[in-house]
Structures are given as structure tokens and as C-alpha cells.
Amino acid sequence: MARQADALAEGVFFKLISRLVKGIEKAGSWLASLGLTYGKTFYHDLLEKEIQMVSLRPGDSVMHIGCGALPLTALKLAQKGLEVTAVDVDPEAVQRAERFLRRMGVGDAVQLQLADGANMAAEQFDAVWVSLHVVCKKEVVSNLLSGLRPGARLVYRNPRGLLSYLYPRVRPESIAAGHYSQTEVSLGKESILIFNGSKEEALNMSSKKSQAKHVSLEELAPDSTAFISATPQRSMFPPLGLRRGKKITVRCRHPLGGPLVVDVEGRRVALARKLARKIRVSREVRNEWRCRHQTVSAP
Amino acid sequence: MALPSSDRERPLILLLGPPNVGKSVIFNQLSGMDVGMANYPGTTVDYTEGAVELHGNTAKLIDVPGVYSLEAESEAEEVAIRMLNRQPELVVCVLDALNLESSIYLTLQILRLKLPTVVVVNRVDLLAETGRRLDLNLLQEELGVAVIPTVAITGSGLDRLQQIMAETLAPGPRQLPNRVAPSWAAAESIHGRVLSSQGPVSDFRQRIGDAAMRPWPGILIMLAVLTAVFASVVGLGMALRNFILLPLVREGLIPAIVALVQRLIPPGLLREVMVGEYGFLTKGIEWPIALVMPYVLSFYLALSLLEDSGYMPRLGVMLDGLFNKMGLSGTAVVPLLLGYGCGIPAIMSTRALPSRKHRRMVALMVSLSVPCMAQTGAFISLLAARSVGALIFVALLSASAVITAGVVLSRLLPGEHPETVMEIPELLLPRPSVIGKKLWMRSKHYLGDAVLPVVAGVAVAAVLYETGLMTQLGELLRPLVSGWLRLPEDAAVPLLLGIFRRELTVLPLLNMELNALQLTVGSVVALFYVPCVAVLAILIREFNYLFAGAVLVVTTSSAFLMGGVIAHIGAVFF
């Protein structure tokens, strides 16, 4: 009986607090200066540590489940040059988040999706973030883990201290035994990184970076040729020939923050440096990039 | 105008294709006179609707906004998809010979819809110049529908197109297109098979094209080109004016008109309004034709050369770094340059800019401090003889105002910094026939758009002057005009007339006795003053009333603020 009452009280209390937090986030989303101050206080440290742990490079794609109306994680990740897909189950939050991100100037780098985190597939992402307040967090995290690519990472947040009365804690051992995991601690929260692979592979990843066969287009030396391995989603890229598998050469770079001029199979395109940074190229061509097609003639 | 109606008394034909491929030229050639512009409800997308005669039957022809694919990622694509859903009787798919691969992808997507389709490959003449050859028969086989090569701007191939269109519309057995699933891989494959290298491309031209695109010697080339453009616009304009148009008008046309009027109309108000001080048959004719049109002609000659040679995008690449500091991308070079000709095409071309913020910034910059050619011509007429220093000052002020407006606006307006993505076409020798056609069209537009409003504006001024209302107006505006701007009372006239046409804020100053400082003040006010009614109408159409209102407020207040400040500071020194 007492336990039931406890659970009830917790439920009511939880609803109250989450309503309060949502209200603050809505206000912060609308009044950007307020939102950013809120972000600086509660998220800056946390995000810095998480980003360090995950070690991604510009152009990598990440998904954030439970972004809310004030998507500070998505904002920070986009500012670091990543391609973000931000997901929330609340339509109003998605709308507000989109508006906020456009105001902050990262609208192009973040795709918003209205969906339930429990149903999201993770295989196309280099990393996935799961927020503190996500409902049924354990199921969501387990589901995402099972869909992760080898070498991809997952970061989820557990409450600490007072917050643990409000939000559930999920131990990494309970869902990801055998995977390499790491924990970082910040104000009121702890961030848990799960790496889809063994510890050796995780440590190798960071050292492999320097010998990576994939570089960004911006790093390519002038007049050297490479093949495009990944591009961000921009509707005008495919018609211009900026697609996976295409041969690309950097012709010249313009000073003072000017564009790069590249040659894609005979066509010359000028690209902003920011964009060039997000296009990944490699020296070799993979066979799966070159598809075959068949013509079926009408009888 | 309503949605494309499904009244099927007339068959519906859709003209589809990527942007900048020459679709509208084909549309214009096919549709003749009865053409209307419409807006697709709920979007900012416009399309043009007309009628085409095919073997005696009339069909409704719609020029669908240019799209690269049917993926529904932009408004234009959504509109195209919706239009295709209306099951038109025929789809004319226009491909770009120079960018065949992307056009083929779009075609495959359209063919999948199983609508009767005809394929046009435009700009085949440019393809030959780049040294490649297109196997049309193979392409026709691959796609399974008729493929017609055209050079829309000269009209070549269009007769055959009309014939095939009529044949396809006629009832009867239809060709079934090959069922190729649309994918980039398929497009690439077809593209690889139908295009072949023919001969060596002009290496010299390629090297120049490349050089113009690199920082070095691109910057030198840019400075040379800009200087040449500036010198030729001013030089050629002046020559045209002094040696041809001015004598023609002042010594031939006007005296003839005056003599005629003096013979027919007795002295009095009407005669004065027609041929007096502000006579709309004297000043109203002289101003647009003799003083302004020479510069309009020389400017559009230079602009058409820049466009047709393919140098414009290279200019954009050179300026992109600089533009980025202002919060713009190099693609803004096109509307800004167009703005030096006329604000209307400039603001319409902002549609091609990537973001809403970008569009608004450039539209405001053009309305505020980019003088149209009519106004610039008037400036040169006004200042060049009297005070070249003042002319240079106004030019520098205009440039720095554009930059300042850009920097300020990019902070104030919400939105992202644009990401530059620009394709750089081949550098080509401008084709005289194309230049001639463009020049002819633009001069026709100028004469049509300018002469009547100027005549009307001058008529208004004449009436005001002759009835004495002008002095009353002067009294009313005295604190502003004489007190703050330190100009004679008559200067109230250009302020009023400027609403019709921008050059009317400058030209009336010609007749007034003004010293160099006053000329400068008058010019500065004219520079920033409100855009003409036509531009305001376009602003309302492309954006909304609120934005147009904001432009009005910003331009008027800047004009008077800057003018007054210069007047007062100048008074201290001169």
C-alpha cells in the first residue's frame, strides 16, 4: 500500500517537474538568449565531455533521441560540423526545435523528425545520443544498440543526485555486457558511452584516425584526385554530380574564407569551405558505390 | 489566376525541366501572345500559362517551374508533382545538352509516370562547342520516346517539336517507353553511352576559363573586366548621348514637336504643360530618350556580354569570400549586378538565392542603395560636367552603403549564413545574335516601362508648376527641404516625382541653380530615396506588404538622414 502511494506520489511529482522543465525549454527555445544561458549552465560541460568521449569528425552523422523544444545537444553537435538527425515524439517540440535551430544558423545541418525513439533504426549513424528524460529509456537504448553499426557509438544520460528521484537510471552492464563502455560525470547527470565493439577496437579507432583513408574534401591537396565516399544531404548535390563514387579533384582554393573550386567529372563547382569539410573522399573506389542497372525493354 | 483547371475542352501540356535550360524561351516561342503569369496558391511558386496552336487545335501550355528532380524537397518540386498528378495530355521534357546526366535523371522519373512524353534536348549548339557529340538515336532508343534537338534561342528545331507534339496528341497507338527505374546509376549509364568526345576542346579557352576562376590571376582579370565594364558603360553611353541621341532629340525631334504644338494649341495652361518649362512633350521625351537611354543601352550591352560569356559565375566565385563577410554568398552577384540595370529583374532573380534571409537582404540592399541605370544615367548627366568629385563621392557612397547594409542586415535578420554552391560553366565567346536579341528585348522593355511613367510624372510636375501648386508644395516641405537639406524650395518637386521613376529624383535638379554641395546632397537623397512604384509592386508580390513597408521606411529615413548630415557638415567646410 505504502509502495503504491509512493509510486503515485513519484508519478505526480515527476509530471510536475517534467512540465516545469518543458516550460523552461519552450521559453528558452523562443527567447534564444534565455535558451543559450540555460544551455551554458546545464549543458556546456556535459556536452564537451560527451563529445570528447565520442571523438567524431566533421561530416559524421549522428542521431539525437528526445531533443525537445530546446535542442541544445543538436545545436552543439551541428556547430561542431556533424550532420544531425534530431528526433522527438512531441510535434510541438519538433516545431519549436526547428525554429530555434534555424535562428541559430544550423538549420541546414539538422534534420528534424517526429517519431518515437523506440522505433528508430540506428544503422546509418556514426553515433546516437539518448536524452535523460526519454521514456522507457532502457528499451530504447537496447533497441538502438542492437541496430548500431560496428564501430558506432551510443551515448545516453543517467541522472545523479537529486535528479535520480525523478528519472530512471540504466546501468550499462544491464544492456551492453561485453561492449566497451565509458562514463563521464557532470552536474546532476552522468553520460555513458557504449562503443559497439571491443575495448581494443575502441582504442584503435582513435589512433587509426591519423591514418584514415577517408579525408574531408577540404583537406584534399590541389590537383589530386579522390572519390567521394559521403556527402551531406543537399538537394542540389546530386544534380551537380556530387554523389558517392564520383571522381573529384580540387582545382583551387580561395583565400579570405572563399570557396573551393572542384572538378567533378568535367564539371566545375564552387563550394563553401564549410560544405567541403563535410564531404568525405577516399583514394580508392569501393565496388558497392558503382551499381549496375538493367534495362527491361517493353515487349 | 486559379489552379490549372481541368477543363478538358483544351488538352493540357506541361513544359518541364531543370532551371536555366531555356525552357521559358521554348515556352515563349510556342505560345505567342496570350500569356499570363500565375501563382500557385499557398506557395511562392509562379508559373506561366499560355496557349499553343497545334495543327489547328489549341492546347493549354504551362511552363512548370524548373526542378532538378521530383523528390518533393522544395516548393517548386511539390508544385511540379501536383501538376503532373493532373494527368496532362502531354509532357514536354526539356533536357540540357550541357548537363545531360542530371536532366536524364529527371526524365526517367517523369517517364515512370507513364504519361505521353516528348523529350527536347536544348542548347545542342553549345555542346558542339565543347567538343562533344550526342547520339540522338541511341538516346531515343534508351528512353523510348521521341527526342528532338533544339537551339531555342534561335528557334532551330522548334517547328519539328510542334509537329511531334501534334502527332503525339493525336489519338492512336502510342510508343511505350522502356521501363528503366529512375536512379542516378541509370542516368549515368545512359549518359555514358550517348555522349562521346568528338574533338579537342579549345585548350586556350579552357585555360582562360580556369585562370579567371583561380585567385591568381583571377583577381587581376576581375579588376580588368570590372574596369572595362565601367569604362565602356560610361564611355559608350556618353558617346551615344553626345553624338547621336542628344542632337537627334534636341535639334530634331523636340523642335518639331514644339512647332506642331504651338501651331495647334493656343497659349495657355495646356500649352505650357505640354511644351513649357516642365513640358511633358519636351522634357518628358528628352529625359528618357536622350539622357538616360544611352546608358541603358551601354549597360545592358556589357551585362549581356558578361552573362553570355559565362564570366558572371566566375565573378561570383572571386567575390564570394568578400560577400561572406557581409553574410551573403557569391550567388548574390547576379541580383546585385542586375540591380544596377533595373530593380525589377534584380528582385525577381533573388528567387534563385538559397535562403529567405538572403533574399530579403539582397532585395533591401538593391532597393536602398543600388541605383538603377536610369538613375545612374541621370547622375552622370547631372554631375559629370559640373563636379566629377561629387560623382565619385556618390559612387563610393553607394558601394559602402551596400556593404554596410549587408553587414548590418546579416546580424539583424534571423537565419543562417548561406552555403555557397555554384556551378561554373564553360567560358564561351558571346554570340552576336544572342547579344543582339537580349539588347533588343531589354531596350524594348525600357522604352515601354520608362517613357510613359516619365511623361506622366513630368506632366504632373508641369501641372503643379503652371498652376502654382508647386510653390505651395514648396512652402509645405520647406522645413525639410530648405531647412534640413539646405536646397532651394523647388527641390520638393523631385521628391514628389521620384515615386514614379527614380531618375525623376535627379533630373529636375538639372534645371535648378545649385552649387556643388547642393548637387551632392540632392544626389545622395536621390540615391537612397524610395524605389519607384514598379519596384514597390514587385516587392509586395515577391515578399509582402510588411516587407515593402519596411523598405519604404528604411529608404526614406536613410535618404533624409544622410542628405541632411552631408548638407550640414558640408556647410561648415564649403
Q: Which is more confident, B532 or B36?
A: B532
- Angstrom distances, CA of residue A278 to CA of B85, B356, B422: 36, 23, 17
pLDDT at position A63 over 90: yes
pLDDT band at A2 (very low <50, low <70, confident <90, very high): low
* Chain B environment of A237 (Cβ under 8 Å): 421
B181 touching A (Cβ < 8 Å): yes
Q: Quick check: B176 contacting A, CB < 8 Å?
A: yes
Using one digit for the tens of pLDDT, what is the confidence trace for B400-459?
Answer: 998 898 888 888 877 677 788 888 887 877 878 778 877 887 888 778 777 777 788 778
Confidence at residue B307, expressed as pLDDT on a 0 to 100 scale = 82
pLDDT-based confidence at residue A296 (cuts at 50, 70, 90): very low
Give per-residue pLDDT as tens, B34-89.
555 566 665 556 777 888 888 878 888 998 888 888 876 677 788 889 899 888 88
Nearest CA to CA, how far is B250 from chain A (Å)?
50
- pLDDT for A293: 33
The reply to whether B474 and B415 lie within a common domain is: yes
Radius of gyration of chain B (CA): 27
pTM over 0.80: no
Q: Which of B149, B179, B201 is the last residue of a domain?
A: B201
**Together in a domain, B561 and B516:** yes
B207 touching A, CB under 8 A? no
Quick one: B453 and B516 in the same domain?
A: yes
- Per DSSP, helices labelled H in B413-532 are 432-467, 469-478, 492-497, 516-528
Q: Is residue B1 part of a domain?
A: no
**Do B372 and B452 reside in the same domain of the chain?**
yes
Tens of pLDDT along B217-255? 889 999 999 888 888 888 888 888 889 988 888 888 888
Residue A142 distance to chain B (closest CA, Å): 33
Task: Report yes or no on B164 lying in a domain.
Answer: yes
- pLDDT value for A294: 29
Write the residue in A257, A275, A293 that is nearest to B419 by C-beta: A275
Cα–Cα distance between A132 and B71 in angstroms, integer?
A: 36
User: Across residues B325-344, what is the average pLDDT?
Assistant: 85
Distance CA A37, CA B450 (A): 55
**pLDDT-derived band at B174, boundaries 50, 70, 90:** low
Domain of residue B237: give its range.
Answer: 215-573
CA atoms of B264 and A252, how far apart (whole Å): 70
- Tell me if B480 is assigned to some domain: yes
Clarify whether residues B332 and B458 are in a common domain: yes
Contact (CB, 8 A) for A281 and A220: yes
pLDDT of B43 = 57
B209 inside domain:
no
The mean pLDDT value for B558-564 works out to 90
Same domain, B417 and B339: yes
Among B163, B191, B127, B444, which residue's Cα sits nearest to residue B297?
B444
**Is B206 part of a structural domain of the chain?**
no
Same domain? For B113 and B58 the reply is yes
10 Å CB burial of residue A64 (0-12, 13-18, 19+) is buried
The pLDDT assigned to A64 comes to 93
Question: Are A296 and B179 within 8 A, CB to CB?
Answer: yes
What pLDDT is attached to residue B175?
A: 61
Q: Is the per-residue pLDDT at A58 higher than 80?
A: no
ipTM of the complex: 0.76
Cβ–Cβ gap B421/A240 under 8 Å:
yes
B418 and B465, same structural domain?
Answer: yes
In this structure, of A134-148, B304-318, B339-353, the range with the lowest mean pLDDT score is B339-353
Which CATH number is B194's domain given? 3.40.50.300
Q: What mean pLDDT comes out for the span B564-569?
A: 89
Q: Do A271 and B317 touch (CB under 8 A)?
A: no
Which is higher by pLDDT, B172 or B389? Answer: B389
Q: Name the residue among A89, A74, A117 with its Cα closest to residue A22.
A: A89
Q: Do B317 and A269 touch (CB under 8 A)?
A: no
Domains in chain A, ordered, with CATH? 2-205 (3.40.50.150), 215-287 (2.30.30.90)
Interface check A259 vs B, CB under 8 A: yes
Question: Domain check: are B188 and B337 in the same one?
Answer: no
Distance from CA of B403 to the nearest CA of A (A): 16
Average predicted confidence (pLDDT) for chain B: 82
Q: Look at residue B170 in the predicted model and tell me its pLDDT.
A: 78
Greatest Cα-to-Cα distance within chain A, rounded to the nearest angstrom: 77
Query: What is chain A's alpha carbon radius of gyration, rounded to the nearest angstrom?
Result: 22
**Residue B88 sits at the chain A interface (C-beta within 8 Å):** no
Which residues have a Cβ under 8 Å from the Cβ of A24 and sit 6 or more positions away? A38, A70
Helix (H, G, I), strand (E, B) or coil at B419: coil
Q: Are A294 and B183 in contact (CB under 8 A)?
A: no
Alpha-carbon distance of A236 to B76, in angstroms, equals 13
pLDDT computed for residue B119 by the predictor: 93
pLDDT at B231: 85
User: How does residue A298 score in pLDDT terms, banded at 50, 70 and 90?
Assistant: very low
Assess if residue B348 is contained within a domain: yes
Alpha-carbon gap: A256 to the closest alpha carbon of chain B (Å): 6
Q: Contacts of residue B181 in chain A, CB cutoff 8 Å?
A: 293
Select the residue of A253, A274, A298 nearest B144 (Cβ to Cβ): A298
Please say whether the dihedral angle defined by the alpha carbons of residues B489, B490, B496 and B499, taken in this order, is positive or negative. negative
Share of chain B above pLDDT 70, in %: 93
Number of domains observed in the structure of chain B: 2
> Do B156 and B274 have their domain in common?
no
DSSP string, A22-57: HHHHHHHHHSHHHHHHHHHHHTHHHHHHHHHHH---
Last residue within a domain, chosen from B201, B230, B264: B201
- State the CB neighbour count (10 A cutoff) for residue A224: 11
Domain C-terminal end among B175, B201, B227: B201
Chain B residue numbers with beta carbons less than 8 Å from the beta carbon of A240 are 102, 421, 423
Distance CA A141, CA A132 (A): 11
Q: Any long-range contacts for B282-286 (C-beta under 8 Å, 24+ apart)?
A: B282/B254, B282/B257, B282/B258, B283/B458, B283/B507, B284/B451, B284/B454, B284/B455, B284/B457, B284/B458, B284/B459, B285/B249, B285/B253, B285/B254, B285/B257, B285/B451, B285/B455, B286/B249, B286/B250, B286/B254
Question: Which comes out higher in pLDDT, residue B574 or A2?
Answer: B574
Residue B337 to residue B345: CA distance in whole angstroms: 10
Name the residue type at position B159. Answer: D
Given B105, B181, B414, which is nearest A103 (Cβ)? B414
- Alpha-carbon distance A290 to B259, whole Å? 80
Are B175 and B265 part of one and the same domain?
no
Q: B320, B329, B356: which to substitute to probe chain A, counting the most A Cβ within 10 Å?
A: B320
Measured between CA atoms, how close is B521 to chain A, in angstroms?
36
Contact B320 A259 (CB under 8 A): yes
Contact call for B321 and A259, based on CB within 8 A: yes
Give the number of other Cβ atoms within 10 Å of residue B224's Cβ: 11
With a cut of 90, say whether residue B121 has pLDDT above it: yes
Residues B283, B182, single domain; the answer is: no
B327 contact A CB<8A: no
Give the pLDDT of residue B288. Answer: 81
Calculate mean pLDDT across residues A243-265. Answer: 87
Is residue B568 domain-resident? yes
Q: Is residue B111 part of a domain?
A: yes
Residue type, A60: D
A142-178 confidence digits (pLDDT tens): 888 888 888 888 999 988 887 887 788 888 888 877 7
